[in-house]
Structure 1
Amino acid sequence: MDHKLSIRKMIKEDIEQVYQIELLSFSAPWSKESLLYELEQNLFAKYIVVESEGKIIGYCGLWVIMEDAQITNIAVHPDYRGLNIGESLLKFAVQLSKEMKAKRITLEVRVSNHVAQSLYKKVGFVTGGIRKRYYTDNQEDALIMWVNLE
């Protein structure tokens, strides 16, 4: 990819593009209202976007509560997958969590999503358990993955 990428804090004007990535990425996408709430009302939430030539091509949501961080969602537009953008976003989220004094970071991932699991393992996450029937759209189990930040 020849385009210059930048990662920055998400702003309200990004919601529409982020929502479009949600629709293209998840079988049970978050609503625009949920994304806006996270951005403007949830004091624990931090959202970042990756941008190329003025276009949002990926994003990541993060909650940091005391010493614990939680990746709420992470997605890259299908046209830009396989270019290490997800890895850059995830590493940025890990660094942001460290800066906010989190000692560990967790996430849930579908047991069938081996591509995402590989990415998380590459960044240092390990499997810590299973949440049975976690996903509401099809009752699929989720792996709980985490990494210590200290």
Structure 2
Amino acid sequence: MLIRAMDLDDLDQIVELEQLLFTSAWSRSDFMYEILENQFSFNYVLEIDNEIVGYVGVWLMYEQSQITTIGIVPKYQHQGLGRILMQEMIALASQQGCETMSLEVRISNQKAISLYESLGFETKAIRKGYYQDNHEDAYLMVKGLEGQK
């Protein structure tokens, strides 16, 4: 298993996976912007046997960090890989001096919510109509990172 920085050569696979996993999928240009232009954005892929099986994006913005996207290939889900990616991002944010990590998650996505809660995230607010595809609400979940280093 290898976690490495996402690069432009990965985008065909990442965009295909994003479209498979999410109804409000990021586009190729969204990922290109994150990789090439957003100085706060750090994006990683998870490989097993040279195959990309997951990815994650995080913004590191001074004392705050935010998970922007995370996805695991369906046949690799429920094996703890999402947890591994989240733990790596928590460690990275802590090492960079971030004090909090946040994310938004569909209120219907109980599996993801359970994962985030098990990692210490707490629901702090509801973002009404957050998702463009069906206007579903999202939970804003936040985790304190002090003592995570």
Paired residue for 1:12? 8
Q: Distance in 1 between matches of 2:95 and 2:110?
A: 29
Aligned structure 1 segments of 4 or more residues deviating by more than 3 angstroms: none
SS in 2 for 1:130: strand
Partner Cα distance (2:14, 2:87) in 1 = 19
In structure 2, what residue type is equivalent to 1:13? D
Matched, 1:123 2:119: yes
Offset of residue 11 of structure 1: 1.3
Cα distance in 2 for residues equivalent to 1:93 and 1:85 = 12
2:19 pairs with one of 15, 19, 23: 23
Spell out, residue by residue over 1:66-108, the C-alpha distance to the aligned partner (whole angstroms, 9 max, x if none). 1000100001011110110000000001111111111000000
Amino acid at match of 1:143: Y
- What pairs up with 1:85-96 in 2 under 5 angstroms? 85-96=81-92
Q: 2:138 aligns with which of 142, 145, 150?
A: 142
1:42 aligns with 2:46: no
Q: Normalising to structure 2: TM-score of the pair?
A: 0.96
**Alpha-carbon distance in 2 for matches of 1:70, 1:136:** 19
Out of 44, 65, 81, the residue aligned to residue 69 of structure 1 is 65
Unaligned ranges ≥5, structure 1: none
**How far is 1:20 from its partner?**
1.4
Query: How far has the Cα of 1:8 moved from its partner?
Result: 1.2
Alignment of 1:43-62 (within 5 A): 43-62=39-58
Aligned residue number for residue 103 of structure 1: 99
CA distance in 2, matches of 1:122, 1:75: 18
Letter in 1 for 2:64: D
TM-score by length of structure 1 reads 0.95
CA distance in 2, matches of 1:99, 1:40: 23
Q: CA shift at 1:35, angstroms?
A: 0.5
Q: What fraction of aligned residue pairs are identical, expressed as a percent? A: 39
Provide the aligned length of Structure 1 versus Structure 2.
146
Q: Which amino acid counterpart does residue 45 of structure 2 have in structure 1?
A: V
Deviation of the 1:122 alpha carbon: 1.1
In the alignment, structure 2 segments of 5+ residues that lack a partner are none
